[in-house]
Amino acid sequence: MNILGIETSCDETSAAVLSGDVVLSNVVSSQAVHLQFGGVVPELASRAHIRKIVPIVDEALQNAKTTLSQIDGIAVTYGPGLVGALLVGVNYAKGLAMVLKKPFVGVNHIEGHIYSNFIENKNWSPPFLCLVVSGGHTLIVLVQDHLQYRIIGKTRDDAVGEAFDKVAKLLDLPYPGGPQIDQLANEGDPSFVKFPRALMKEKTFDFSYSGLKTAVMNYLKEIPEQEIRKNLSNICASFQQAAVEVLVRKTIEAARTFQINKIGVCGGVAANSLLRKWMTDEAAEYHLTVNFPALKYCTDNAAMIARAGLERLNQGYQASLNLNAYPSLQLEI
């Protein structure tokens, strides 16, 4: 079964072709138009998706040495995300499904991230605990079985990736800030400033990242500009330490509480080098298995959408041509 996956929920136009669970191609085009604004401009994102969707799908088909007539099913992200951006992918997928007379299915973007765990690790199976960390989401999900989720904890305000991006902006680093902070933090001292770790003492698996962002902002207001420049890597390392420590401690605690011995970590922030190392080390202490998808499957991509779509199509799910885009779509429970 050849599946074409399409992802347009934010600022990446992406298309992928899977043959069964094997990735034949995965093309991701990141929109450079937002760089000058220091964040994603929704209207510009929609327009860029419209320009890109046809050439990106063509490229994915070519790289996979496939043609549209060899596609057996289509999977498309229908939420959550920017409504105008989502609509481009959803309508394009509908058009293709109608013309090709092939089944198509809507995939929740978060479910796509969860399924990135299965792309390369063919031995991966539920139940497992999934930490989903991206620019828009921070949640711990108990994946009880395929397509069966229970949300254990989620952010009460900002997502962790959003905190990385906002702190980077305060430090005049280019968007997206996560990779920049990660790189600078490598040479910094994580104990330089003691930033707060939110909701660590409370008995909850929820997160909160707006306080950490505000703490960094207040700290920067007190320091002369040249001191900030001189200690840039120390400040980045201190912020990253606070942000990542909460993710690691809460996820491990959740795994122990729910007696689950496998942890999958996914979403853009799963590319973070400290998170990868710390989670791996801490999990080993408690004899837990951790899976991190390859970096290219952590940030937004259509291969993960196709992989989740494969599971849905196999289980008999199909969307009708009435499928809409849902900017605040929740993970089905």
Q: 239 CB contacts (<8 Å, ≥6 apart)? A: 167, 181, 185, 193, 195, 212, 216
**Sign (positive/negative) of CA torsion 108, 147, 154, 241?**
negative
Pick from 84, 106, 153, 179: which binds ligand KG4 (CB under 6 A)? 179
User: Which positions lie near Zn ion, rule CB under 5 A?
Assistant: 134, 300
| 176, 329, 264, 64 alpha-carbon torsion, rounded to 10° | -70
> Which part of the chain contacts ligand KG4 (CB under 6 A), choosing from 60-68, 130-138, 219-227, 279-287?
130-138
Element (H, E) at 289: strand 289-291
CB of 267 to ligand KG4, least distance (A): 4
By the rule CB under 6 A, 78 interacts with ligand KG4: no
Residue 272's binding partner, choosing from ligand KG4, Zn ion, none, with beta-carbon cut-off 5 to 8 A by kind? ligand KG4
Lay out the site mask for ligand KG4 across 4-43 (x = CB under 6 A, - = otherwise). ------x---------------------------------
Report the residue number, 188 or 267, with the smaller CB distance to ligand KG4: 267
Integer Cα distance of 79 and 324 in angstroms: 9
- Return the CA Rg of the chain: 20
Strands (E), 138-179: 138-145, 148-154
Tokens at 332, concatenated: 């089905």
By the rule CB under 6 A, 299 interacts with ligand KG4: yes
| 66, 69, 71, 74 alpha-carbon torsion, rounded to 10° | 130
Lay out the site mask for ligand KG4 across 195-234 (x = CB under 6 A, - = otherwise). ----------------------------------------
CB of 68 to ligand KG4, least distance (A): 27
Tokens at 102, concatenated: 């092939």
Residue 182's binding partner, choosing from Zn ion, ligand KG4, none, with beta-carbon cut-off 5 to 8 A by kind? ligand KG4
Report the residue number, 61 or 132, with the smaller CB distance to ligand KG4: 132
Instruction: Give the binding site for ligand KG4 (CB under 6 A).
Output: 10, 134-136, 161, 164-165, 176-179, 182, 267-269, 271-272, 299-300
